[in-house]
Structure 1
Amino acid sequence: MIPSSDLCVRAVQSRDRRFDGQFFTAVRTTGIYCRPSCPAPSPKPANMTFYVSAAAAQRAGFRACKRCRPDATPGSPDWDARADVVGRAVRLIDDGVVDREGVPGLARRLGYSERQVERQLVAELGAGPLQLARARRAQTARTLAESTELPLSDVAFAAGFASLRTFNETVQEVYALTPTQLRERAEPRVPRGPTPTTAVPTTAVPTTVWHTITVRLPYRAPLTPDNLFGHLVATAVPGVEEWHDGAYRSTVGLPHGPAIVALAPRDGFVSATLRLADLRDLSAAISRCRRALDLDADPEAVDALLARDPALAPLVASAPGRRVPRTLDPEAFVVRAVLGQQVSTAAARTHAGRLVAALGTPVDDPAGGLTHLFPSAAALADADDAHLAMPAGRRAAVRAVAALVASGELDLRAGADRVRSSGVLGAVPGVGPWTVGTVAMRALGDPDAFVPGDLGVRAGAASLGLPSTPGALTRHAAAWQPWRAYAVQHLWATGDHPVNRMPATTSSDPSTAPEGEQQ
């Protein structure tokens, strides 16, 4: 929802960055739209019109400001947090579903008719799914034009445009520049990665022609990166994830092929170096990275609510802007969560690493030590006992969960119905509340997911003088809604574990991993 007009005007006049991405200001006298923090002189309030999305401003005929680049703002926190059809639709569109499956595919995934989806999106966002996808394609095209040396015809194809004519017209309408002018105006600070990069051939692993692109991922300040990167690295699966040269690196399967991402925290943004087997996956890769690092969160809103609790207030003050470490691969994460039930993090990593070596798809990595994609759900569902060396109950749970993911019954994708998916997972024999809560928090992205039975959460609560039994802690935590997943991060941070610290070495070391969270 757009804030009140008075609040929007004050935000524009004070150039308040906290509102970037939450609304867009269109100026009727100039025909452009801006982010609230645009450094240009503030227009007269009578000339301002406010839109909830860049697509809505574009649909109304406004062009993107060349100075503040409003299409490059962090996403609205509403769409990441909301579990209704509009929030799910926006996440799916960001993940490229409309480009791959069209509006009918989006509607099927949501369980609504195309007309209902269109009506609800226009009512809340001022633009339908085609306009939202068009805005996304325009931003992808801009990123490629500015950060690579690809021929512009390839940029058009990679961004998802059906023709060069549509590509040229869209870029001209949105940016008031031709694609060639976009490239010529690119600021020197924008890195231009080599395109493409061919990995060094080996006899064991098929080589991939990687397209390497480095982009900046903006976020709303403040951000405390310690637990975010510490957690991802301390729980990293060997061969799939690592900490290398100051960046968290991971392989990930995208709709058109494999990718390797490297994410490094910087002042005011996260640097993302993306190696893509297929450039059509650029938008999906950026969307996955933003979700994995929770970059579209509104830290001031979260911190303000949690700080009302006297027990949490000192933690919030000492580490403002904690994010929830999520995952690049939700379907792999649910299997990892089952593997981690009632065992240490080190043991869970060992089990996962064995599965990766035996069943994962090999990947060549020219810049580090990554070797595989995590095994597919279908491969895990059919895995023999030799590859699942664990107690019979957990082995059956892994197979059952993998089969549900492979069949589509357990949906963990960007637009999944979180309540339904949690119910499907919780009905699997051998899967308990800790696993359901952890998957809801880190794979489904539920900002209110809570794991009161987790040992680290209970220990943290006890150290603060809070109730430490699951029932009593849940009752106390009602005041933390709808941000209980963030409270979990603060409770975990009361312990001295690597998950709470930025990695200090060049690679993740399983021997330093903390004891895992347990049911």
Structure 2
Amino acid sequence: MTLTADAGAADAASRGTPRETVYRPAAPVDLRATVGMLRRGPGDPTMVFDGPVIWRTLRTPLGPAALALRARGAEIIATAWGDGAEHALDSVPELCGANDDPTGFDPSHHPLIADVARRSVGIRLARTGVVFDALACAIIEQKVTGLEAFRAWRQLVTKFGERAPGPTPRPMYTAPTAAQWRRIPSWDWHRVAVQPPQSKTVVRAAERAESVSRALLAAPTGEERDRVLTSLPGIGIWTSAETRIRALGDPDAVSVGDYHLAHQVGYALTGHRTDDDGMLELLAPWAGHRQRVIRLIFASRVSEPRRGPRLSPEDHRSR
């Protein structure tokens, strides 16, 4: 793995001049499958797919940044704008799965997993290292459809986040800081149809954002990571797993309690639906790499045929 930064003045980013890095990963990286899974719906103001380029916003200690990633052969070209450009470039290897270690993963336990693993060697587990952003996003997604959660995320980030620098393909924003999440008025939560249990959970978590982030990043095992997150009121194992997946690239996190996941895993591995207990039993041969198997199942595009209409989101805002 090599990361080579172009020469430039230290204040180039603050003048709007982009900084560029060429990242040469040690293993193949499918940029869309690795980094793209962080996008929260097609209207996500923090991530945009622009043809072969993936745009992502970041909030750094030095200010906001916009990061553009594109593959060029075995290299990944990263360009960043804004006061936080250097921090954004420093995040590229982990974002592209540099810390993802597949040691001990044996896809041969199931023919589908073996086949997809052979055909999808570039799927890596991205790590953002930004705990509270992942946690807030997961809380908003509790007990609602993806459509509802993505809409709320888009509207809240656009209104309370900070406009990203650079020539982004459309207006993009960084997610609010923990302090900004705490100051969102109750009526704004109501306008975007985030219910009081979820909004209060975000606010309570924001009050402990720094200490929770430090503890989670230091926790060495999935059990200890769950213990850190579920110590917060309103945070269960589903929200903990979703946070671990995005912030840490945790290879073993499983979102138990998800409305669809157990059905999808069961159908892909057996041809039949299963429940959470059945899913955990099916994934047991890959202990330590269960999230990796789930990602391969998603990549396989094997899914149970629909049996009825989609669930229509219910609008509580007028109540």
| TM-score normalised according to structure 2 size | 0.80
**Aligned amino acid, residue 465 of structure 1:** T
Q: Is the counterpart of residue 286 in structure 1 residue 89 in structure 2?
A: yes
CA contact (8 A) 1:224 1:322 kept: yes
Q: Is the counterpart of residue 447 in structure 1 residue 251 in structure 2?
A: yes
Which of 254, 260, 270 is the aligned partner of 1:465?
A: 270
CA contact (8 A) 2:158 2:173 kept: yes
Quote how far apart the aligned CAs of 1:325 are.
Answer: 4.0
Quote how far apart the aligned CAs of 1:230 are.
Answer: 4.1
Quote how far apart the aligned CAs of 1:269 are.
Answer: 2.1
Q: Report the counterpart of residue 13 of structure 1 in structure 2.
A: none
1:423-502 matches, cutoff 5 A? 423-454=227-258, 455-465=260-270, 468-495=274-301
CA contact (8 A) 1:437 1:449 kept: yes
CA contact (8 A) 1:412 1:443 kept: no
Q: Report the counterpart of residue 510 of structure 1 in structure 2.
A: none
Q: Report the counterpart of residue 45 of structure 2 in structure 1.
A: 239
Quote how far apart the aligned CAs of 1:414 are.
Answer: 8.7
What is the distance in 2 between the residues matched to 1:473 and 1:241? 31
1:370-409 matches, cutoff 5 A? 370-389=171-190, 390-405=194-209, 408-409=210-211
Q: In structure 2, the residue corresponding to 1:312 is in which secondary structure?
A: helix
CA contact (8 A) 1:354 1:387 kept: no
**Aligned amino acid, residue 286 of structure 1:** L
What is the distance in 1 between the residues matched to 2:177 and 2:148? 21
1:65-80 matches, cutoff 5 A? 73=1
Quote how far apart the aligned CAs of 1:262 are.
Answer: 0.6
Using a 3 Å threshold, how does the CA distance of structure 1 residues 495 and 325 change in structure 2: closer, same or farther?
farther
Using a 3 Å threshold, how does the CA distance of structure 1 residues 221 and 488 change in structure 2: closer, same or farther?
same
Q: CA RMSD in A?
A: 3.0
Percent of pairs with identical residues: 20
Using a 3 Å threshold, how does the CA distance of structure 1 residues 364 and 287 change in structure 2: closer, same or farther?
closer
**Aligned amino acid, residue 410 of structure 1:** V
Using a 3 Å threshold, how does the CA distance of structure 1 residues 315 and 245 change in structure 2: closer, same or farther?
closer
| TM-score normalised according to structure 1 size | 0.51
CA contact (8 A) 1:241 1:370 kept: no
What is the distance in 2 between the residues matched to 1:340 and 1:457? 17
What is the distance in 2 between the residues matched to 1:242 and 1:424? 31
Q: In structure 2, the residue corresponding to 1:493 is in which secondary structure?
A: helix
Q: In structure 2, the residue corresponding to 1:410 is in which secondary structure?
A: helix
Q: In structure 2, the residue corresponding to 1:250 is in which secondary structure?
A: strand
CA contact (8 A) 2:110 2:269 kept: no
Q: Is the counterpart of residue 353 in structure 1 residue 157 in structure 2?
A: no
Q: Report the counterpart of residue 54 of structure 2 in structure 1.
A: 248
**Aligned amino acid, residue 218 of structure 2:** A
1:152-171 matches, cutoff 5 A? 154=10
Q: Deviations over 1:172-226 (max 9, x none)?
A: xxxxxxxxxxxxxxxxxxxxxxx836xxxxxxxxxx5234122122223333444
Q: In structure 2, the residue corresponding to 1:259 is in which secondary structure?
A: strand
Using a 3 Å threshold, how does the CA distance of structure 1 residues 414 and 425 change in structure 2: closer, same or farther?
closer
Which runs of 5 or more residues in structure 1 are unaligned? Answer: 1-72, 75-138, 155-194, 198-207, 498-514
What is the distance in 2 between the residues matched to 1:246 and 1:328? 24
Structure with max Cα Rg: 1
1:36-435 matches, cutoff 5 A? 73=1, 143-144=4-5, 147-150=6-9, 154=10, 196=12, 209-233=15-39, 235=41, 238-277=44-83, 282=86, 284-298=87-101, 301=103, 305-327=106-128, 329-389=130-190, 390-405=194-209, 408-411=210-213, 415-417=217-219, 419=221, 420-435=224-239
Q: In structure 1, the residue corresponding to 2:16 is in which secondary structure?
A: strand
**Aligned amino acid, residue 440 of structure 1:** R
Using a 3 Å threshold, how does the CA distance of structure 1 residues 196 and 286 change in structure 2: closer, same or farther?
closer
**Aligned amino acid, residue 446 of structure 1:** D
What is the distance in 2 between the residues matched to 1:394 and 1:415? 24
* Structure having greater relative contact order (Cα 8 Å, sep ≥ 6): 2
Q: Deviations over 1:235-280 (max 9, x none)?
A: 36633221224211122111222211011133212211122415xx
Quote how far apart the aligned CAs of 1:306 are.
Answer: 2.4
Structure 1 ranges of 4+ moved more than 6 A: none
**Aligned amino acid, residue 246 of structure 1:** P
CA contact (8 A) 1:251 1:370 kept: no
Q: Deviations over 1:470-517 (max 9, x none)?
A: 1232133222122222111012234479xxxxxxxxxxxxxxxxx9xx
Using a 3 Å threshold, how does the CA distance of structure 1 residues 472 and 414 change in structure 2: closer, same or farther?
closer
CA contact (8 A) 2:128 2:248 kept: no
Q: Deviations over 1:331-359 (max 9, x none)?
A: 21210111112223332121112212321
**Aligned amino acid, residue 294 of structure 2:** V
Q: In structure 2, the residue corresponding to 1:260 is in which secondary structure?
A: strand
Quote how far apart the aligned CAs of 1:148 are.
Answer: 2.7
What is the distance in 1 between the residues matched to 2:158 and 2:12? 28
Using a 3 Å threshold, how does the CA distance of structure 1 residues 224 and 365 change in structure 2: closer, same or farther?
closer
CA contact (8 A) 1:240 1:372 kept: yes
